Amino acid sequence: MNAALNSMVLAGSTPTRYRSGGLVGPDAIWAKDHWDPALTDGLIEATGATINMVLAALAIGGVIGLGLGLALFASRKGGLFDNKPLFWSINVLVNTIRPIPFIIFITAIRPLTILVMGTSYQLKGAIFPMVIICSMAAARLVEQSLVGADPGVIEAGRAMGASRLHVLIRILIPEALAPLILGYTFLFVGVLDMSAMAGAVGAGGLGDFALSYGYQKFNNYVTLAALIVIVVIVQIAQGLGNFLARRVLHR
């Protein structure tokens, strides 16, 4: 499969029948019979690479972000562990990194990525910056979810003699579980967006597939196929997130 796809991106080449049929360049838009069988295997492989990339970044970054979000909430003024220096440090870190566009961030931290991962290219080179951005976004989502929890729950827990840590972990997190589930579902979609840009460092995935065999080859069928797969993945993830959130709310 890779050999078949690679043959399509050699200098000056799309598949032979496309060249002889005149289906090369801007005039090939929506051309008939514009799907090479090798592209099906390529689409499946790219889908698997995207899912692996997203799940890995979300699993690692989500856990780190949960810890940072709990620290943000607990250390804020009037919080369970009021600590202005800690809150200020994490808050500045999150506010500095979170707004940076991923395609800029992934190139800006290239030296750090090489130091940590040994390379700044392919999947290993993409996972590291994805985890960082994911953890920063998750931290803010967790903080906002906990801030929205009923303050009376905290007061009731403390009145019953629960420690501050017990209130934070055993009372507040379950209380805010539904918003947390929806927040992490939203985060999944954001990480999926990042994975599309990870193709810029050769990480593969649907974004790289659509760019290499769709946009650069003027093949809108390839781009449309990648788009449909991404939409389906998002719909499944959002549906699952909504289902779990409803179950938590009605338990």
Q: Is 147 helix (H, G, I), strand (E, B) or coil?
A: helix
Query: Which amino acid is it at 173?
Result: I
**pLDDT value, residue 105:** 92
Least confidently predicted of 8-17, 25-34, 90-99, 213-222: 8-17
Inside any domain, residue 89: yes
**CB-based burial of residue 220 (10 Å sphere; 0-12 exposed, 13-18 middle, 19+ buried)?**
middle
Residue 35 has pLDDT above 90, yes or no: no
User: Which residue range(s) make up the domain with 54?
Assistant: 45-249
Inside any domain, residue 100: yes
Inside any domain, residue 33: no
Inside any domain, residue 141: yes
Q: Is 1 helix (H, G, I), strand (E, B) or coil?
A: coil
State the CATH number of the domain containing residue 243: 1.10.3720.10
> How many angstroms separate the Cα of 125 from the Cα of each of 120, 131, 181?
4, 11, 28
Residue 27 has pLDDT above 80, yes or no: no
Cα 110–chain centre separation: 19
Mean pLDDT of 159-187: 88
pTM of the complete model: 0.81
Domains of the chain: total = 1
Residue 9 has pLDDT above 60, yes or no: no
Inside any domain, residue 62: yes
